[in-house]
Amino acid sequence: MTTSVFIDGAEGTTGLEIRDRLAGRSEFSVLALEGDARKDITARRQAINDCDIAILCLPDDAARESVALIENDTTRVIDASSAHRVAEGWTYGFPELVGREAIADARFVSNPGCYPTGFLALVAPLVRMGHLPADWPYTVNAVSGYSGGGKALIARFEAEGAPAFRAYGYDMAHKHRAEMKLHAGLVHEVIFAPSVVPAYRGMVVEVPLHLGAMAGGPTADTLRAALREFYTGSPMVSVAEGPAPAELLLERDAPPSDRMELFVFGNEGGWHARLVARLDNLGKGASGAAVQSLNLMCGLPEEAGLSLTA
């Protein structure tokens, strides 16, 4: 029996990549509204009530509207927007952190934000295992490809006169901060310094740490070993070992990837460390993560149909 999947927002950046990942998957029949029907409330109501699983690839307000259209007890939802990431009654769609069974059993799954995916992959397990303090004032520096801002930012970065670099978030009120604090179990909100470069996809998310100033003095080697143990057997997340690379690059035209690589750099003497996650904002940062949760919700291998080669 196939699972019917309605993608609301299927013409957007995230929606199109989910369609790509589901193309050719015989386990699913995919419905996407076309033309004027895309934003027609009657058509959307019917589609969301008729499907087994709806994947919302919409701005936050439209995602809330879609959920309110559900009139049955059966439609399950994966919401790619940030509308429900810290909401009661929603399961956070990060299987490596919340457990595969929690996603498999969930009715309402909120897909993590792209930047929080990198931050939480690094910090949440280390805080949970007691290697890093929950009450530390963490900072997150991040660089994203421009598809991270959806169609509007893609148009801006593909227009003549596009910027070579864009830093933002200077109001220190970026919507991802609440999600990072809650799901890492932190006492304080992070300082978050995001930026965008003229590469279509990909991101590097970094958490710099003054290890020597922490009680108990964790070392970079301890943190790396703890992360390696935590992600043992994960098809999507790996922790680099061996000699540290001298540089990390984002390619302008990188192919899609649903993997995430974690790095722990430490200096001589062990005073400082830099925790770094490199991922595709549209892969493990959005569409790949949504398909990973969809697979689990349907009792399938989490990595089915995903791109794990890059």
Integer angstrom CA distances of residue 236 from 113, 146, 157, 231, 247:
16, 23, 29, 9, 22
Instruction: Tell me the closest approach of the beta carbon of residue 18 to ligand NDP, in angstroms.
Output: 9
Q: Which is nearer to ligand X2W, 91 or 222 (CB)?
A: 91
Which of ligand NDP, ligand X2W, none does residue 194 bind (CB under 5 to 8 Å by kind)?
Answer: ligand X2W
Which of ligand X2W, ligand NDP, none does residue 57 bind (CB under 5 to 8 Å by kind)?
Answer: ligand NDP
Q: Count Cβ atoms within 10 A of the Cβ of residue 23 and give its class: 0-12 exposed, 13-18 middle, 19 or more buried.
A: exposed
Residues 187-226 within binding reach of ligand NDP (CB under 6 A) = none
User: Hey, is 273 helix, strand or coil?
Assistant: strand
The one among 80, 109, 196, 250 contacting ligand NDP by CB under 6 A: 80
Q: Report the C-alpha dihedral over residues 119, 120, 124, 126, rounded to 10 degrees.
A: -40
Q: What is the Cα–Cα distance from 197 to 162, expressed in whole angstroms? A: 10
**Binding to ligand NDP by residue 59, rule CB under 6 A?**
yes
**Binding to ligand X2W by residue 9, rule CB under 6 A?**
no
Q: Which two tokens stand for residue 276?
A: 């770094």
Q: Is the dihedral of CA 36, 41, 46, 51 positive or negative?
A: positive
How many residues appear in the chain? Answer: 310
Cβ neighbours around 228 below 10 Å, total: 15
Active site members: 114
Cβ neighbours around 232 below 10 Å, total: 9
**Binding to ligand X2W by residue 78, rule CB under 6 A?**
no
Q: Which is nearer to ligand X2W, 109 or 240 (CB)?
A: 109
Instruction: Tell me the closest approach of the beta carbon of residue 101 to ligand NDP, in angstroms.
Output: 24
Q: What is the Cα–Cα distance from 300 to 95, expressed in whole angstroms? A: 13
| Part of the chain binding ligand NDP (CB under 6 A), chosen from 226-234, 254-262, 279-287, 299-307 | 279-287
Contact present, 286 and 111 (Cβ < 8 Å): yes
Which of ligand X2W, ligand NDP, none does residue 153 bind (CB under 5 to 8 Å by kind)?
Answer: ligand X2W
| Part of the chain binding ligand NDP (CB under 6 A), chosen from 22-30, 59-67, 119-127, 186-194 | 59-67
- Write down the H helix ranges in 109-258: 114-128, 150-158, 176-184, 220-230
Residues 112-151 within binding reach of ligand X2W (CB under 6 A) = 113-115, 144, 148-149
Residues 6 or more apart whose CB falls under 8 angstroms from that of 139 comprise 190, 191, 192, 193, 207, 208
The one among 3, 66, 75, 82 contacting ligand X2W by CB under 6 A: 82
Instruction: Tell me the closest approach of the beta carbon of residue 169 to ligand X2W, in angstroms.
Output: 7
Total residues interacting with ligand NDP, rule: CB under 6 A:
26
Contact present, 175 and 82 (Cβ < 8 Å): yes
**Binding to ligand NDP by residue 31, rule CB under 6 A?**
no
**Binding to ligand X2W by residue 153, rule CB under 6 A?**
yes
Residues of this chain that interact with ligand NDP (CB under 6 A) are 9, 11-15, 38-39, 57-60, 62, 80-82, 113-114, 147-148, 150-151, 281-282, 285-286
Residues of this chain that interact with ligand X2W (CB under 6 A) are 81-82, 113-115, 144, 148-149, 153, 176, 194, 196
